[in-house]
Chains A and B, each alone.
Chain A
Amino acid sequence: MTLGDWISQPVNWVFSALGLAVVFSGFRVVTAKNVVHAALYLVGALAGTAGLFLLLSAEFVAWSLVLVYIGAVVVLFLFGIMITRAPTGLDPALDTNRKLVPGVLAAAVFALMTWAAFDAFGVEQITSAGVATDNALLGESLLGRFVIPFEVVSFVLLGALIGGITIARRDLTPVEEEERAAV
């Protein structure tokens, strides 16, 4: 398949737009000078990812991503940013000033993975394009073959829930104790 063939498929236009959006948002996530902006760019990146999932006919996963991530996780992040009183304005001290090595390393990772992808798969087509995954199949798989991991994950979530509360809970200072008692 030549580049021409590739561009002639309309779906690839959609893909390109989404991909660029994802990469751009991702780039801003790691470079933004403002913490809130970074979190918001993450929303962009994740939304783009969800779009890519839709292209791959994984509807359930796409919407899960939107709901769980954009709906819950990012909100959590924003909470975290507020609570830790990270400077919401421009903050030059947000990054370390040693960017060369991480840059090189990241580039190397990208190069390596890209090379691996081309080397292994070249331009092979995706077979299931356009056929939406049956959600029933997904459900059966989740609660059938993968039921034990499923349960384990639920425990992990529970653990994380309890753990998060335990870790983040603050012992009241004596003054606060008194205040609470007074109320």
Chain B
Amino acid sequence: MTLTQFLVIGAALFALGVYGLLVRRNLVLILLSVELMLAAVNINLVAFEAFLVTTQAIGQVFAIFVITVAAAEVGIGLAIVLMIFRNRRSANVDDLSLMRW
């Protein structure tokens, strides 16, 4: 097993996440895409750990952190989606043009 093969998988997953982030209109789906990107990051972290073998398993520790933060992010993100949906009866980003001048 080479390091690179994992990195390529990570890159693919990350690119897919970027794509989803940019094309999806539904806020929930955008959050899903973000999860994909986070997963890609985790793959990289763990792969590097396996490659370098640090004494304190830093890569894995960070992956755990990422998972935790991602969970928090999903919680908050969904709450926001929920509120936007309540206020505007829509979960589409296109309808959120408050920043337009």
Give yes or no for direct A-B contact (beta carbon below 8 Å).
Answer: yes
Pairwise interchain contact A113-B32, C-beta atoms closer than 8 A: no
**Known A30-B19, A113-B10, A144-B56; 11 more pairs at CB < 8 Å:** A61-B46, A65-B67, A113-B14, A124-B2, A124-B3, A141-B56, A142-B61, A165-B79, A167-B80, A167-B82, A168-B79
Pairwise interchain contact B67-A128, C-beta atoms closer than 8 A: no
A80: B residues at CB distance < 8 A: 28, 31, 78, 81-82
Show the binding face of A for B, using Cβ within 8 Å.
1, 6, 9, 11-12, 15, 19, 22-23, 26-27, 29-30, 35, 38-39, 42, 45-46, 49, 52-53, 55-58, 60-61, 64-65, 68-69, 72-73, 76-77, 79-81, 83-86, 93-96, 98-99, 101-103, 105-107, 109-110, 113-114, 117-118, 121-129, 133, 137-138, 140-142, 144-146, 149-150, 153, 156-157, 159-161, 163-165, 167-168, 170
A65 to B28, CA, bound (A): 20
Mind listing 30 A-B residue pairs with CB under 8 Å?
A: A9-B1, A15-B5, A26-B13, A29-B20, A29-B33, A30-B29, A42-B32, A45-B39, A49-B42, A55-B1, A56-B6, A60-B60, A64-B64, A69-B35, A69-B71, A77-B28, A80-B81, A84-B28, A95-B24, A101-B22, A107-B15, A109-B18, A110-B15, A124-B3, A126-B51, A133-B49, A146-B65, A156-B72, A160-B73, A164-B79
B85: A residues at CB distance < 8 A: 83-85
B68: A residues at CB distance < 8 A: 68, 153, 156-157
B53 to chain A, nearest CB (A): 5
Indicate which residue in A30, A110, A123 contacts B33 across the interface (CB closer than 8 Å).
A30
A105: B residues at CB distance < 8 A: 18-19, 22
Pairwise interchain contact B82-A106, C-beta atoms closer than 8 A: no
Indicate which residue in B2, B32, B50 contacts A57 across the interface (CB closer than 8 Å).
B50
> Given the known A-B contacts A6-B2, A58-B49, A58-B60, are A35 and B28 also in contact in the complex, defined by CB atoms under 8 Å?
yes
Pairwise interchain contact B19-A22, C-beta atoms closer than 8 A: no
Show the binding face of B for A, using Cβ within 8 Å.
1-29, 31-33, 35-36, 39, 42-43, 46-47, 49-53, 56-58, 60-61, 63-65, 67-76, 78-83, 85-86, 91-92, 94
A103 to B68, CA, bound (A): 30
Pairwise interchain contact A49-B1, C-beta atoms closer than 8 A: no
A160 to B85, CA, bound (A): 19
7 pairs of A and B residues whose beta carbons are closest in the complex: A30-B20, A102-B22, A160-B72, A113-B11, A110-B15, A106-B19, A117-B7
Pairwise interchain contact A73-B70, C-beta atoms closer than 8 A: yes
A11: B residues at CB distance < 8 A: 1
- In the complex, the chain A residue whose C-beta lies closest to that of B10 is A113
